[in-house]
Amino acid sequence: MLVILKRDNEEISREAAQLVAGAVRKKPALTLGLATGGTMTGVYKHLVQFHKQGLLDFSQVVTFNLDEYLGLAATHPQSFHYFMHEHFFQHVNVDPRNIHIPDGTVRGNFEQYCATYEDAIRKAGGIDLQILGIGRNGHIGFNEPTSSLGSRTRLKVLSQETIDDNAKFFAPSEESPRCAITMGIGTILEAKKIILLATGAAKATAVAKSIEGPIASAVSASALQLHPEVTFIVDEQAASQLTQRDYYRRVLEMTALLTPERMS
Ligand code: F6R
């Protein structure tokens, strides 16, 4: 596990975008796992900039988003389809046929739908690089506390904390979603490389538990400790409860010196 400590959201976003850009340049037909949410907007901003400057070509990239709210159509401004289009897809040259986002309007046989999503990931050769944010409760995707660490893509009931966090984005007259379709923790752990970004004091407890706590279903992101190629990129506030910050800095320096390919 690598822990990269940065000053603020801007530095985190730039670092993550550079890692994604490096991965796309190394493998133009990269399969990229994507997340939404406030933490991600800066990353997409930088990736869009690289593309507009002619420095990054997404024409062969295949994308899979982690999750979508159940009941929201792609046209709903709070849907993750809408978010991805607004912040990323409409500005870059990802082939629309290569974009995969769970369908929030699916009805009936959820299991079958979710198995099809998993199948599509497998057929694409698996996810090469997965980007993650983290919830205040330690969720990744919408794998809420007590999600099975082996879970696959499925329908998931949102925790009250997540519902409360999201309520501010919906009109007072509108009920915010209670469920989502999300990749499972088992699905996420199969990605070849994972980057998790966290910013702000509200994430400090979740970050500390995920990196330094025991692996537990109560903190979904702690399952990332099982992954051989995971990088946490964390700003000062989100890192404030980590006890081994000096050690992470030394590890990073030595890694850059001895195995620079691990850093790109
Ligand atoms: C979104 C997702 C979630 C978010 C997390 C953090 O696709 O999978 O796990 O990454 O809720 O959201 P923000 O960045 O808005 O704090």
Average pLDDT over the chain, rounded to an integer: 96
Residues 43-50 have a mean pLDDT of 98
Q: Is 51 a catalytic residue?
A: no
Residues 1-21 have a mean pLDDT of 97
Gap between the Cα atoms of 96 and 114, Å rounded: 20
Q: Is the pLDDT of residue 166 over 90?
A: no
Distance 255 CA to ligand 1 centre (A): 28
* DSSP states of the chain: -EEEEESSHHHHHHHHHHHHHHHHHH-TT-EEEE--SHHHHHHHHHHHHHHHTT----TT-EEEESEEETT--TTSTTSHHHHHHHHTGGGS---GGGEE---TT--S-HHHHHHHHHHHHHHTTS-SEEEE---TT--BTTB-TT--TT--SEEEEPPHHHHHHHHTTS-TTSPPPSEEEE--HHHHHTSSEEEEEE-SGGGHHHHHHHHHS--BTTBGGGGGGG-SSEEEEEETTTTTT-S-HHHHHHHHHHHHHH-GGGG-
| C-beta of residue 190 within 8 angstroms of C-beta of residue 222 | no
Q: Is the pLDDT of residue 168 over 90?
A: no
Sheet holding 62-65, edge to edge: 2-6, 230-235, 193-198, 129-132, 31-34, 62-65, 99-100
Q: Is 174 a catalytic residue?
A: no
Residue 130: CB atoms within 10 A of its CB come to 27
The domain made up of 2-263 has a fold known as Rossmann fold (3.40.50)
Q: Where are the domains of the chain?
A: 2-263
The tens digit of pLDDT for each residue in 100-152 reads 999 999 998 999 999 999 999 999 999 999 999 999 999 999 999 999 999 99
Residues 165-192 have a mean pLDDT of 93
Residues 221-250 have a mean pLDDT of 98
Q: Could you give the count of Cα atoms lying within 13 Å of 128 in the half-sphere of its Cβ?
A: 19
| Residue recorded with tokens 């997965």 | 130
Q: Is the pLDDT of residue 264 over 80?
A: no
pTM passes above 0.85: yes
The tens digit of pLDDT for each residue in 211-235 reads 999 999 999 999 999 999 999 999 9
pLDDT of residue 189: 98
Which among 67, 72, 87, 139 is the best mutation to test ligand 1's pocket, defined by most ligand atoms within 8 Å of the CB?
A: 139
Q: What percent of the chain has pLDDT over 70?
A: 100
pLDDT of residue 172: 87
Atom of ligand 1 nearest to the CA of 141: 8
Nearest CA to ligand 1 atom 11: 135
Among candidate residues 128, 139, 143, 235, the one labeled active-site is 139
Residue 175 pLDDT level (bands cut at 50, 70, 90) = confident
pLDDT of residue 173: 87
Residues 184-208 have a mean pLDDT of 98
pLDDT of residue 262: 77
64: left (phi over 0), alpha (psi -120 to 50) or beta: beta
